[in-house]
Amino acid sequence: MRHVISALVMNEPGVLAHVAGMFSARGFNIDSLVVGRTEDPNFSRMTIVVIADERTLDQVRKQLAKIVTVVKVRDFKDTPYVARDLMMVKISAPPATRSEIIELANLFRGHVVDVGQTSLLIEISGEEEKLDAFVELLRPYGIREMARTGVIAMPRGASSVTPGAEEDVKADPAKPTMSKPSTKAALPTKRQPTQQELEATPPG
């Protein structure tokens, strides 16, 4: 089972090594790990996707929290959350297929960020499954190079993973939020043209 964990960590050397070392030393399985800056220069945020059963997830969470430089840990097991992955993909695009590829990119709400004689560079973000589907569609055209950031995620509503926040902040009922309760309901409508529909379009 894949689980997304958000960890707020102190922004100093050795923290990433400590977290990564803990995962390898205890035999936990990282699917992806993303580190980046936050609103506070003292802290970085790690978003870690682990493959684990519930009991292992519990240990992962506790072992992360035990690291002194890890400030806050939260898993999104029982929380609605938004997750995004960013990808850049360079694809073979001779003039004959270029417009097809651009059309596909548009359907997936991707952007062409660079055009070469025989290639296109597309930037696309979204849930991992969407990106996976896009990659499969592009594969027949010839993928030259691909890079993905891995997942970053954030809980919906008012709750947050920040140093002061309680572990499980219940959204204040007095302040209704804009979010919808389930992840599924909030998926971009553009996601509808799924593989089958798109595969109906021959790659030419």
Partner 1 sequence: MSTATPSTGAPAFMPSAKTQNIPTSQRPASRLDTASPSGDTHNGLPVLGHAVGKTDRYIGMTGAQILLQMLVEHGVTDAFGYPGGAILPTFDQLYEKQLNFILVRHEQGAGHMADGYARATGKPGIVIVTSGPGATNTITPMATAYMDSIPMIVFSGQVRTYVIGNDAFQEADVTGISRPVTKRNYLVKNVKDLPRIINEAFIIATTGRPGPVLVDLPVDVTTAKIEETIDDAPYLPGYRVHTAGHSKMARTAAEMINASERPVLYVGGGTIISRAWNEVRQLAEKGNIPCTTTLLGLGAFDENSPLSLHMLGMHGSAYANYAVQESDCLIAVGARFDDRVTGNLKLFAPKAKIVHIDIDPSSISKNVKVDVPVVGDARICLTEMAQYIEHKPRTAWFEQIAHWKKQYPFTWQDNSPRAKPQAIIEAIQKVTAGKAVFTTGVGQHQMWAAQFKRWSIPRSMVTSGGLGTMGFGLPAAIGAQVGRPGELVIDIDGDASYIMTAMELATIKQYNLPVKVAILNNNFQGMVRQWQQLFYKGRFSHSQMVNPDFAAMAESFGIRGIRCDKKEDVLKTVEEMVRHPGPCVVDFLCEEDENVYPMVASGKGLHEMELGIVGTAPPNSGRDMGSLA
Residues that bind partner 1 in the complex, under the rule CB under 8 A: 9-10, 13-14, 17-18, 21-22, 25, 42, 55, 58-59, 62-63, 65-72, 163-164
- Report the C-alpha gap between 186 and 179 in whole angstroms: 8
- For strands 119-126 and 81-92, give the pairing: antiparallel
Question: What is the separation of C-alpha 5 from the centre of its chain, rounded to a whole number of angstroms?
Answer: 11
Report the distance separating Cα 55 and Cα 38, nearest Å. 30
Within 10 A of 87 (CB to CB), how many other CB atoms are there?
20
Question: Closest distance between partner 1 and the C-beta of residue 21, in Å?
Answer: 6
Q: Are 124 and 89 in contact (CB under 8 A)?
A: yes
Looking at beta carbons only, is 10 or 135 nearer to partner 1? 10
d(CA 27, CA 48): 15
Measured from the CB atom, is 70 or 104 closer to partner 1?
70
Of residues 71 and 87, the one with the C-beta less far from partner 1: 71
Residue with smaller CB distance to partner 1, 21 or 94: 21
Kindly tell me which of 48 and 124 has the beta carbon lying closer to partner 1: 48
Q: Cα–chain-centroid distance for residue 41?
A: 22
Shortest distance, position 23 Cβ to partner 1, whole Å:
11
Distance CA 90, CA 112 (A): 10
In degrees, rounded to 5, the angle at the alpha carbon of residue 67 between the alpha carbons of residues 45 and 159 is: 40
Q: Which is nearer to partner 1, 68 or 147 (CB)?
A: 68
Contact 50, 28 (CB under 8 A): yes
